[in-house]
Structure formats: structure tokens, C-alpha cells
């Protein structure tokens, strides 16, 4: 059976009824196929019921959902002459076999439903794979542990400023299946793909791809760093060799991936690697497309052997070396699709930092506040610290501990922070690691070792109050937690908004 053609599907299942599952369900119903759609969720929620009622009103016009729920387990269903839609709640396994299964990105591979679906579905894919099969043209895809959203927004802005029809979608923006159902002819899709989404792809082949970086994250989901890296590399697995993939050239794992791609004959762009450095590492005859920042701070891209100078790092509103790399990657792909250098430079210069990503949150009594709540791992916090090379930093770090390695972060914190406040569920471990690094022999002179003060706070609010109380004129108070937010907040967005509210209260706003 050809599962690429919706008309050939008779029975499908959807795992999860969040934003992704709901979008897939609506897509199937609009296609007038399949005849049976079964949705499986762990538990019944108010949102599940509201979703079913909305689907009923839009597609079935029955005015009510029928079925039964008992002790949190059961089923609800809608049906008409064309289709039967059933929501199964609390089942550990699938109750039938299916032509196709769509798994939501939040469902881990060790979930019993996921494992059972692998056996009972002829194929099990994610929503991006479904969207790509439906409309595969003009995909520009971006992944990486950190910087995905900024790079996607940058590229989308450059395309829009140049007058090219484009939509940003995927892990941010609308779901991909909604985006392809509403796209114009010739419109570009600028796609952010998380590792969760890439794990269930089988054929996605973008016109160009960007792999920003790979650092330890979501290991509890993928199992280990090697499997996480393999998942990230799926962004280019099915691309034709002539299609370019922009890869981080400033990390060891990025260099290894570049070498692998060159060995297999892929078109590779080394992001952040100067021509001399690239030639020294790989040989000038192996790689001749790259991006870099020169000694005077100019951003450059080399496309098909031609060098293009863009603008200086000082002209960018986004801070830090990592954002220079994000800008270079977006600029290279924009040049690849035909946008001229001057237009790319203008768009880069006008791009403001995204919310919760080293976002300026205001000033109070000559102290600057920055919201980097999106930094949910140590590597992201390291990037944030690099954005303030000449500043006196008070760092607020903590939240729900991911158990990540803190050794590199500890070393960097001692070099560039005046004060570090560890808070929340992770406070004890962070304090212990940082304090041990502070007192460990060989970390510097006694003066250097004592220049950074490490404190603990009960929660983020106490950490904020302590930071404000101990701040000196011209200090930077940086919220860059290196942890997820779920010990106190529903999301990193809520955490960042709360931080900004506290700053506004200080300023009397």
C-alpha cells in the first residue's frame, strides 16, 4: 500500500491529542480519508474533551460526543457515513492494526503505546514526515541543540524582507501539516525541527539544511549522546548530495560530522570556519564553502567559491558568538536561494533578539537585566555568558535539574561572573559543583579564586531579590538557568515573563 497517498489509507491512528495530534486529525478529516481514525491518549483532560467537541462541530455536526469513560479509561467516538473517529483513553496498547500511525513529538520511544504502535502500524511516522509527503517543495530545515529558533526567525525575516513568500513552521509557529495545507505555490517553508520530530522522519529531504550544534541535551529521551547525534543528523539523511548542509565548524562533534559528510560526497558548508582553517583541517580541495568572522569583526559567506562580505558583528542587535554563527548560517542559505548580499546584511542588522533569548529586560539604577530563560542546558548558558565579555555579571542559575555535566560551565563561571546565585531544585548540586571548582587547587591565584561569590536561594524570586540587593552600578543581572523550568513554572516562557515582570516592578512600571 502506498501510504504517501491519503486516499489509500483506510485505518490510521494518532498517538496524542495535543497541538500536533489535533492538527493531524483535522488534516485526515479534510482529506475525506481514511474511514477509521483512532486517537490514543494517556489520560482524559479538559483539553481532550474540548478538542473532541470542536471536531464534532466542525466535521460531524452531531452536537455531542458519544462513548464512555470509566476510572480514567474508556473511549469517546464520533461517526458518520464516511468516517468513525474514536478517542481511546488510558490504554497501554493499540486495539487494532493500522495502515499508518502518527506519533506526537512528546511521546517517548519507551512509552508502551509507542512500542506497541511500532508493531501494529504498517509505518509509524511523525507529523513533519506526513507534511513533507503532502507538500515536499522548497523546504529549508534547521536543527541543533541551541539556536534553532533564532536562526529560523532570522532566515524567515531575510526571505520576507526580500519579498519571497515564506512561512516559519514546525517546532515553532504553526504545525507543518497546517502550514502545507495553506501554503502558496512556490512558497518557502523555513522549518525548525527538534530531535523529537526528527526521530520519526523517513524521507524528509530539504533543499538546504542547517545543523547548528550538538551538545548533551534530552539524553533522558534519546538514551545517550550518540543516539541523540544520530537523530539530529537525520535532517540531511535523505537530501541529494548536491543539496547543501551548513554544519557547525567550531566544535569537535561538528568537525567529525563535516568529515563524514565530505567522505560521502555531500555538499558541506563549514559554519564559522575561515578558509585558512578549513583548508588546514580538511584540505582546500575537499571543502570550499564556509562562513566566518574575520579579525576586524566582518561576517563573510563563501557560496560556490565566491566570497561575500556582509556586515560587522557590532552592527548586529543579537549578542554573542553563537548568534554570529546563527546569523552566518541564515545568511548563507539566504544567499543560496538567490538573495543579494546587501539585502541579507540589511535584514541581519535589523533583527532584534527574540523573547527569552538574551533579551534586554530593562535597567534599574544603572544595573542591566537580561532574560535568557530559554537557556535550559549548560551549553546555552555558556553562550549567554560569552555575550558579555567586558561586563560584571550576576548569574541566576537553577530550576529543574537535568543532571547535565557542569564542569565546563563551572570553569567559565569562575572566569567571568562576579556573583552566581543557585536556586530551585538544582540549587544544591550547582552550588556544590561551583563551590568545589572555586576552592580546587590549580584554578588560579587566591585572588582569582575568591573573585566569584557563589550563593544559594530557595527559589527564583529569592534569587532575584538577592541579585538586586547585591548588585553594583554597571552590573549585568543575567537569568540564564541551564535547567528546565518545571520545578516552579509551566514553561521557560512563563519563567522569562515572570523575571521581566519583577524587573518592571523595580522600575515602577
Give the model confidence (pLDDT) of 305-361 as tens digits: 999 999 999 999 998 888 999 999 999 999 999 999 999 999 999 998 878 988 989
Residue 321: CB atoms within 10 A of its CB come to 15
Chain center to CA of 223: 18
Of 398, 413, 392, 410, the residue nearest 477 (C-alpha): 392
Out of 109-113, 426-430, 497-501, which region has the weakest mean confidence (pLDDT)? Answer: 109-113
pLDDT of the residue at 220: 58
The DSSP output letter for 58 is I
Domains and CATH numbers, the chain: 6-122 (3.40.50), 129-349 (3.40.1190.10), 359-506 (3.90.190.20)
Please state whether beta strands 124-126 and 100-103 pair in parallel, antiparallel, or not at all (unpaired): parallel
pLDDT over 50 (residue 130) = yes
Distance (Å, rounded) from C-alpha 245 to C-alpha 141?
Answer: 9
pLDDT of the residue at 216: 62
The mean pLDDT of the chain is: 91
Contact 390, 350 (CB under 8 A): no
More confident residue, 64 or 77: 77
State the DSSP H helix or E strand holding residue 419, giving kind and residue range, or none if neither: strand 417-423
Please compute Rg for the chain using Cα positions: 25
Cα–Cα distances (Å) from 36 to 22, 43, 103, 274, 337, in that order, read 15, 21, 17, 55, 41
pLDDT of the residue at 17: 93
Contact 348, 457 (CB under 8 A): no
pLDDT over 50 (residue 244) = yes
Distance (Å, rounded) from C-alpha 49 to C-alpha 361?
Answer: 38
pLDDT of the residue at 445: 44
pLDDT over 60 (residue 269) = yes
User: How buried is 431 (Cβ within 10 angstroms: 0-12 exposed, 13-18 middle, 19+ buried)?
Assistant: buried
Out of 64-73, 78-87, 487-496, which region has the weakest mean confidence (pLDDT)? Answer: 64-73
Task: Say what the pTM is.
Answer: 0.80
Of 262, 342, 340, 300, the residue nearest 290 (C-alpha): 300
Task: Give me the sign of the Cα torsion angle 227, 218, 39, 176.
Answer: negative
Distance (Å, rounded) from C-alpha 346 to C-alpha 153?
Answer: 15
Task: Give me the sign of the Cα torsion angle 202, 193, 115, 5.
Answer: negative
pLDDT over 90 (residue 145) = no
pLDDT of the residue at 223: 60
- Per DSSP, helices labelled H in 61-126 are 112-120
Distance (Å, rounded) from C-alpha 218 to C-alpha 119?
Answer: 25
Of 103, 102, 98, 104, the residue nearest 122 (C-alpha): 98
User: Dihedrals φ, ψ of 386, to 5°?
Assistant: -70, -15
Please state whether beta strands 84-89 and 73-79 pair in parallel, antiparallel, or not at all (unpaired): antiparallel
Distance (Å, rounded) from C-alpha 189 to C-alpha 415?
Answer: 42
pLDDT average, residue stretch 407-434: 94
The DSSP output letter for 366 is T
Amino acid at each position: 500500500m502506498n501510504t504517501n497517498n491519503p486516499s489509500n489509507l483506510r485505518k490510521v491512528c494518532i498517538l496524542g491529542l495535543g497541538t500536533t495530534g489535533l492538527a493531524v486529525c483535522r488534516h485526515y478529516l479534510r482529506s475525506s480519508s481514511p474511514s477509521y481514525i483512532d486517537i490514543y491518549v494517556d489520560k482524559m483532560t479538559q483539553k481532550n474533551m474540548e478538542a473532541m467537541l470542536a471536531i464534532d462541530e466542525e466535521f460531524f455536526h452531531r452536537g455531542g460526543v458519544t462513548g464512555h469513560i470509566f476510572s480514567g479509561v474508556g473511549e469517546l467516538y464520533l461517526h458518520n457515513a464516511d468516517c468513525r473517529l474514536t478517542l481511546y483513553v488510558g490504554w497501554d496498547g493499540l486495539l487494532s492494526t493500522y495502515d499508518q500511525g502518527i506519533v506526537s513529538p512528546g511521546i517517548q520511544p519507551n512509552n508502551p503505546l509507542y512500542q506497541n504502535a511500532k508493531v501494529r502500524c504498517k509505518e509509524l511516522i511523525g507529523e513533519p514526515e506526513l507534511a513533507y509527503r503532502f507538500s515536499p517543495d522548497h523546504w529549508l530545515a534547521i536543527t541543533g541543540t541551541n539556536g534553532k529558533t533564532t536562526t529560523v526567525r532570522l532566515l524567515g525575516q531575510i526571505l520576507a524582507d526580500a519579498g519571497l513568500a515564506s512561512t516559519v513552521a514546525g517546532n515553532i509557529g504553526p504545525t507543518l501539516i497546517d502550514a502545507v495545507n495553506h501554503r502558496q505555490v512556490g512558497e518557502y517553508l523555513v522549518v525548525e525541527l527538534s530531535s523529537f520530530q526528527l526521530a520519526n522522519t523517513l524521507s524528509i529531504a530539504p533543499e538546504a539544511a542547517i545543523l547548528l550544534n550538538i551538545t548533551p541535551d534530552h539524553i533522558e529521551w534519546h538514551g545517550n549522546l550518540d543516539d541523540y547525534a544520530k537523530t539530529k543528523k537525520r535532517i540531511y539523511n535523505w537530501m541529494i548530495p548536491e543539496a547543501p548542509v551548513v554544519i557547525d565548524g567550531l566544535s569537535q562533534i561538528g568537525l567529525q560530522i563535516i568529515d563524514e559528510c565530505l567522505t560521502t560526497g555531500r555538499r558541506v558548508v563549514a559554519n564559522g570556519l575561515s578558509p585558512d582553517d578549513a583548508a588546514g583541517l580538511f584540505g582546500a580541495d575537499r571543502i570550499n564553502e564556509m562562513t566566518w568572522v574575520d579579525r576586524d569583526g566582518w561576517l563573510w559567506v563563501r557560496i560556490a567559491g565566491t566570497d561575500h562580505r556582509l556586515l560587522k558583528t557590532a552592527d548586529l542587535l543579537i549578542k554573542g558568538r553563537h548568534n554570529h554563527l546563527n546569523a552566518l548560517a541564515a545568511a548563507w542559505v539566504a544567499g543560496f536561494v538567490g538573495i543579494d548580499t546587501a539585502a541579507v546584511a540589511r535584514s541581519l542588522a535589523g533583527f532584534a533578539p527574540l523573547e527569552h533569548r538574551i533579551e534586554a529586560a530593562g535597567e534599574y539604577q544603572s544595573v542591566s537585566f537580561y532574560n535568557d530563560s530559554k537557556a535550559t542546558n549548560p551549553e546555552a548558558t555558556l553562550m549567554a555568558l560569552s555575550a558579555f565579555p567586558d561586563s560584571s555579571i550576576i548569574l541566576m542559575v537553577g530550576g529543574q535539574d537535568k543532571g547535565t555535566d557542569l564542569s565546563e560551565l563551572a570553569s567559565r563561571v569562575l572566569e567571568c561572573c562576579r556573583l552566581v546565585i543557585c536556586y530551585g531544585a538544582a540549587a544544591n548540586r550547582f552550588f556544590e559543583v561551583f563551590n568545589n571548582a572555586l576552592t580546587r587547587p590549580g584554578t588560579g591565584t587566591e585572588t582569582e579564586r575568591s573573585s566569584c561569590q557563589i550563593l544559594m536561594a530557595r527559589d527564583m524570586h529569592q534569587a532575584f531579590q538577592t541579585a538586586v540587593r547585591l548588585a553594583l552600578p554597571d552590573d549585568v543581572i543575567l537569568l540564564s538557568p541551564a535547567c528546565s523550568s518545571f520545578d516552579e513554572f509551566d514553561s521557560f516562557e512563563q519563567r522569562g515573563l515572570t523575571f521581566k515582570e519583577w524587573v518592571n516592578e523595580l522600575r515602577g512600571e
